[in-house]
Structure 1
Amino acid sequence: MTKTRSRNKVGARIKELRLRNGLTQEKFALMIGLNRSYLADIEKGNRNFGFDTLERIVKGFDISLEEFFEGF
Protein backbone atom coordinates (compact mmCIF):
# COMPACT_ATOMS: atom_id res chain seq x y z
CA MET A 1 0.00 0.00 0.00
CA THR A 2 1.42 3.38 -0.95
CA LYS A 3 1.83 6.19 1.56
CA THR A 4 -0.90 8.25 -0.08
CA ARG A 5 -3.31 5.31 -0.14
CA SER A 6 -2.60 4.62 3.54
CA ARG A 7 -3.22 8.25 4.46
CA ASN A 8 -6.44 8.22 2.43
CA LYS A 9 -7.69 5.09 4.20
CA VAL A 10 -6.88 6.46 7.65
CA GLY A 11 -8.49 9.79 6.78
CA ALA A 12 -11.61 8.09 5.46
CA ARG A 13 -11.84 6.02 8.64
CA ILE A 14 -11.60 9.15 10.80
CA LYS A 15 -14.31 10.87 8.77
CA GLU A 16 -16.53 7.78 8.92
CA LEU A 17 -16.24 7.58 12.71
CA ARG A 18 -16.72 11.33 13.12
CA LEU A 19 -19.91 11.32 11.05
CA ARG A 20 -21.17 8.15 12.75
CA ASN A 21 -20.82 10.03 16.04
CA GLY A 22 -22.69 13.05 14.67
CA LEU A 23 -19.70 15.37 15.01
CA THR A 24 -18.70 18.26 12.79
CA GLN A 25 -15.02 18.75 12.03
CA GLU A 26 -15.11 21.88 14.18
CA LYS A 27 -16.64 20.16 17.20
CA PHE A 28 -14.41 17.08 16.99
CA ALA A 29 -11.27 19.19 16.48
CA LEU A 30 -12.13 21.22 19.58
CA MET A 31 -12.77 18.03 21.58
CA ILE A 32 -9.33 16.62 20.79
CA GLY A 33 -7.37 19.88 20.71
CA LEU A 34 -6.56 20.07 17.01
CA ASN A 35 -7.03 22.85 14.49
CA ARG A 36 -10.08 22.20 12.28
CA SER A 37 -8.18 22.72 9.03
CA TYR A 38 -5.46 20.31 10.21
CA LEU A 39 -8.15 17.68 10.90
CA ALA A 40 -9.71 18.36 7.48
CA ASP A 41 -6.33 17.78 5.79
CA ILE A 42 -5.91 14.51 7.71
CA GLU A 43 -9.38 13.34 6.64
CA LYS A 44 -8.57 14.14 3.00
CA GLY A 45 -5.28 12.24 3.19
CA ASN A 46 -3.33 15.44 2.50
CA ARG A 47 -1.42 15.56 5.77
CA ASN A 48 1.24 13.41 7.36
CA PHE A 49 0.75 13.19 11.10
CA GLY A 50 2.35 11.39 13.99
CA PHE A 51 1.30 8.63 16.30
CA ASP A 52 0.53 11.09 19.10
CA THR A 53 -2.04 12.81 16.88
CA LEU A 54 -3.57 9.48 15.87
CA GLU A 55 -3.78 8.52 19.53
CA ARG A 56 -5.64 11.77 20.34
CA ILE A 57 -8.06 11.13 17.49
CA VAL A 58 -8.73 7.52 18.50
CA LYS A 59 -9.20 8.49 22.15
CA GLY A 60 -11.65 11.16 21.00
CA PHE A 61 -13.82 8.37 19.61
CA ASP A 62 -13.40 6.40 22.83
CA ILE A 63 -12.18 3.31 20.99
CA SER A 64 -8.96 1.31 20.94
CA LEU A 65 -6.36 1.39 18.18
CA GLU A 66 -7.39 -2.17 17.37
CA GLU A 67 -10.98 -1.06 16.84
CA PHE A 68 -9.84 1.88 14.75
CA PHE A 69 -7.86 -0.37 12.40
CA GLU A 70 -10.48 -3.14 12.12
CA GLY A 71 -10.88 -4.12 8.49
CA PHE A 72 -7.66 -2.48 7.24
Structure 2
Amino acid sequence: MEHEGKSDIKKRFGLAVRQRRQKLGLSQEELSFRAGLHRTYISDIERGSRNVSLENIERLAKALEISVSTLFTKYGIEKENG
Protein backbone atom coordinates (compact mmCIF):
# COMPACT_ATOMS: atom_id res chain seq x y z
CA MET A 1 0.00 0.00 0.00
CA GLU A 2 2.90 2.38 0.70
CA HIS A 3 4.07 1.82 -2.88
CA GLU A 4 0.71 3.12 -4.18
CA GLY A 5 1.09 6.31 -2.15
CA LYS A 6 4.53 6.92 -3.60
CA SER A 7 3.22 6.45 -7.12
CA ASP A 8 0.25 8.68 -6.39
CA ILE A 9 2.37 11.63 -5.25
CA LYS A 10 4.56 11.31 -8.35
CA LYS A 11 1.43 11.47 -10.51
CA ARG A 12 0.05 14.45 -8.57
CA PHE A 13 3.38 16.26 -8.89
CA GLY A 14 3.53 15.49 -12.61
CA LEU A 15 0.02 16.81 -13.09
CA ALA A 16 0.90 19.99 -11.20
CA VAL A 17 3.96 20.56 -13.39
CA ARG A 18 1.90 19.96 -16.56
CA GLN A 19 -0.90 22.29 -15.44
CA ARG A 20 1.50 25.10 -14.55
CA ARG A 21 3.52 24.60 -17.75
CA GLN A 22 0.36 24.77 -19.86
CA LYS A 23 -0.88 27.82 -17.95
CA LEU A 24 2.36 29.58 -18.92
CA GLY A 25 2.00 28.40 -22.52
CA LEU A 26 5.31 26.51 -22.42
CA SER A 27 6.21 23.40 -24.36
CA GLN A 28 8.01 20.58 -22.58
CA GLU A 29 11.06 21.55 -24.60
CA GLU A 30 10.95 25.17 -23.40
CA LEU A 31 10.46 24.08 -19.79
CA SER A 32 13.38 21.67 -20.07
CA PHE A 33 15.58 24.48 -21.42
CA ARG A 34 14.56 26.86 -18.63
CA ALA A 35 15.12 24.22 -15.93
CA GLY A 36 18.32 22.78 -17.40
CA LEU A 37 16.78 19.33 -17.63
CA HIS A 38 16.29 16.95 -20.57
CA ARG A 39 12.93 17.07 -22.36
CA THR A 40 12.33 13.35 -21.89
CA TYR A 41 12.91 13.83 -18.15
CA ILE A 42 10.15 16.49 -18.14
CA SER A 43 7.88 14.06 -20.00
CA ASP A 44 8.63 11.32 -17.44
CA ILE A 45 7.86 13.73 -14.58
CA GLU A 46 4.54 14.74 -16.11
CA ARG A 47 3.56 11.08 -16.55
CA GLY A 48 4.41 10.41 -12.91
CA SER A 49 7.15 7.92 -13.68
CA ARG A 50 10.05 9.85 -12.10
CA ASN A 51 10.93 10.30 -8.46
CA VAL A 52 12.15 13.89 -8.64
CA SER A 53 14.95 15.12 -6.39
CA LEU A 54 14.58 18.21 -4.24
CA GLU A 55 17.13 20.02 -6.40
CA ASN A 56 15.11 19.32 -9.53
CA ILE A 57 11.85 20.32 -7.84
CA GLU A 58 13.45 23.67 -7.09
CA ARG A 59 14.75 24.01 -10.67
CA LEU A 60 11.30 23.22 -12.04
CA ALA A 61 9.58 25.69 -9.73
CA LYS A 62 11.96 28.47 -10.80
CA ALA A 63 11.46 27.59 -14.46
CA LEU A 64 7.70 27.62 -13.89
CA GLU A 65 7.97 31.05 -12.20
CA ILE A 66 6.41 29.82 -8.96
CA SER A 67 7.65 28.99 -5.47
CA VAL A 68 8.01 25.37 -4.45
CA SER A 69 5.43 25.82 -1.70
CA THR A 70 2.91 27.39 -4.08
CA LEU A 71 3.46 24.64 -6.62
CA PHE A 72 2.60 22.09 -3.95
CA THR A 73 -0.38 23.90 -2.46
CA LYS A 74 -2.01 25.63 -5.43
CA TYR A 75 -1.86 22.66 -7.76
CA GLY A 76 -3.19 20.04 -5.33
CA ILE A 77 -0.10 17.93 -4.70
CA GLU A 78 -0.81 17.84 -0.99
CA LYS A 79 -3.77 15.71 0.00
CA GLU A 80 -6.24 16.97 2.55
CA ASN A 81 -6.04 13.82 4.70
CA GLY A 82 -2.53 12.66 3.85
TM-score by length of 1: 0.93
Q: Which runs of 5+ in 1 are unaligned?
A: none
Q: Where does residue 68 of structure 1 map in the other structure? A: 71
Instruction: Please report the TM-score for the alignment, with normalisation by the length of structure 2.
Output: 0.82
Of the two, which has the highest radius of gyration?
A: 2
Q: Is 2:82 the counterpart of 1:42? A: no
Which of 3, 7, 10 is matched with 1:4 structurally? Answer: 7
Alpha-carbon RMSD: 1.1
- Mapped to 2, the partners of 1:61 and 1:35 lie a distance apart of 15
Q: Give the length in aligned residue pairs.
A: 72
Tell me, in whole angstroms, the C-alpha distance in 2 between the residues paired with 1:66 and 1:34: 21
Amino acid at match of 2:9: S
Amino acid in the other structure paired with 1:42 = I
Unpaired stretches in structure 2, ≥5 consecutive residues: none
Moved over 2 A (4+): none
